[in-house]
């Protein structure tokens, strides 16, 4: 088992979010930084310990390994090899801090930017913004024709008051409470293409969270389609029941079949049995991403006459005599 409790070092719970871990790190780093505590060896040691904890817990993969207590000794050795801490002594006016993580150097730039402290350099890599998922519900008609939606999305942007540093004159920024970021609500009109189905993920490139020196993340629309009162969807085929009068089923004729584009005339052959299905090619749902379409299956539902007149009843009696059971 690892010898240090990184959660305890940062003063957060084991289920703490990324934002809670980052805020705890900012607070402790400002308090124990060697420039804030010149000559205090215990503060310097505490500062290194805080950075060590943050390096592990701020990285999703490392945090999972740490939480599972897997290969604890090897993990500690690799971490020490990959994260050399330079001298924090005050023998010169300028020193450098190097971190193996992508985020820590940026935090130091933010924490001590414009404070008159020594200059810190880092090996930083541009970071792509995080992807966003947004649920979208559409009707079957909208899924057939395609549609648009106007979404309200919450994003995080650098705080305009402190310019993303989290500090104003060495005091945590009141606007962002020292986090360096503020939430913004942006409205965005998006297009939903024809053919989407339950669970479809529609990618809107570059509309996710802003990147830090890198590209923005993407927005993914997770689609759900409402049931339709007439049509049942199976894949890209549509199924519908068509009421057919008894006389038409026996003698033949035409009936109107509803589709998502309007009604179609369907020829019913004489002596059509109840439950027979007719395939209407290309009258189903569009295939997502191309111009082809599924089919429609029109199932015959024979409607027996009611409220028969005496003459109609007589005709059925004569029929029953001609075609006894």
| Residues 6+ away with beta carbon under 8 Å from 50 | 9, 10, 25, 28, 29, 32
Task: Give the pLDDT score at 78.
Answer: 53
- For residue 278, what are the β-bridge partners? 298
Question: Using one digit for the tens of pLDDT, what is the confidence trace for 221-264?
Answer: 999 999 999 999 999 999 999 999 999 999 999 999 999 999 99
pLDDT of residue 79: 54
Q: Cβ-count burial of 110 within 10 angstroms (0-12 exposed, 13-18 middle, 19+ buried)?
A: buried
Token readout for 51 is 């950075």
| The pLDDT of residue 71 | 44
Residue 21 CA to chain centroid, in angstroms? 23
Domains defined along the chain, listed by start? 6-112 (1.10.287.110), 132-225 (2.60.260.20), 232-322 (2.60.260.20)
Distance CA 219, CA 134 (A): 7
Reference 221, options 130, 129, 131, 133; nearest CA is 133
The confidence score (pLDDT) of residue 2 equals 46
Alpha-carbon gap, residue 12 to 283, rounded angstroms:
58
Contact, 154 vs 143, CB < 8 A?
Answer: no
Tokens of 83: 């994260």
* Segments of the chain scoring below 70 in pLDDT: 1-3, 69-125
């Amino acid at each position: 088992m690892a010898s240090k409790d990184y959660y305890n070092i940062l003063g957060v719970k084991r289920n703490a979010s990324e934002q809670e871990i980052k805020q705890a790190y900012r607070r402790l780093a400002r308090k124990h930084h060697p420039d804030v505590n010149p000559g205090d060896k215990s503060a310097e040691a505490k500062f290194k310990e805080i950075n060590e904890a943050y390096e592990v817990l701020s990285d999703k993969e490392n945090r999972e390994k740490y939480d599972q207590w897997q290969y604890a000794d090897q993990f500690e050795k690799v971490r020490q090899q990959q994260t050399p801490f330079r001298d924090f002594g005050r023998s010169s006016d300028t020193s450098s801090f190097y971190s193996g993580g992508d985020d820590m150097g940026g935090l130091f730039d933010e924490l001590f930017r414009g404070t008159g402290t020594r200059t810190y350099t880092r090996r930083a890599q541009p970071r792509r913004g995080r992807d966003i998922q947004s649920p979208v519900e559409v009707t079957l008609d909208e899924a057939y024709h395609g549609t648009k939606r106007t979404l309200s999305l919450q994003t995080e942007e650098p705080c305009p008051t402190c310019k993303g540093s989290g500090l104003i004159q060495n005091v945590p920024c009141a606007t962002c409470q020292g986090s360096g970021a503020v939430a913004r609500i942006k409205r965005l009109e998006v297009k939903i293409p024809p053919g989407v189905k339950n669970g479809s993920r529609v990618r809107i490139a570059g509309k996710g969270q802003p990147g830090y020196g890198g590209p923005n993340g993407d927005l993914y629309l997770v689609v759900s389609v409402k049931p339709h009162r007439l049509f049942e969807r199976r894949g890209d085929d549509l199924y519908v029941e068509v009421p057919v009068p008894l006389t038409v089923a026996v003698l033949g004729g035409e009936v109107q079949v509803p589709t998502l584009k309007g009604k179609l005339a369907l020829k019913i052959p004489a002596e059509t049995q109840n439950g027979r299905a007719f395939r209407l090619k290309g009258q189903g749902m569009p295939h997502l991403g191309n111009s082809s379409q599924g089919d429609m299956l029109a199932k015959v539902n024979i409607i027996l006459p009611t409220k028969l007149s005496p003459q109609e009843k007589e005709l059925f009696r004569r029929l029953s005599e001609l075609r006894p059971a």
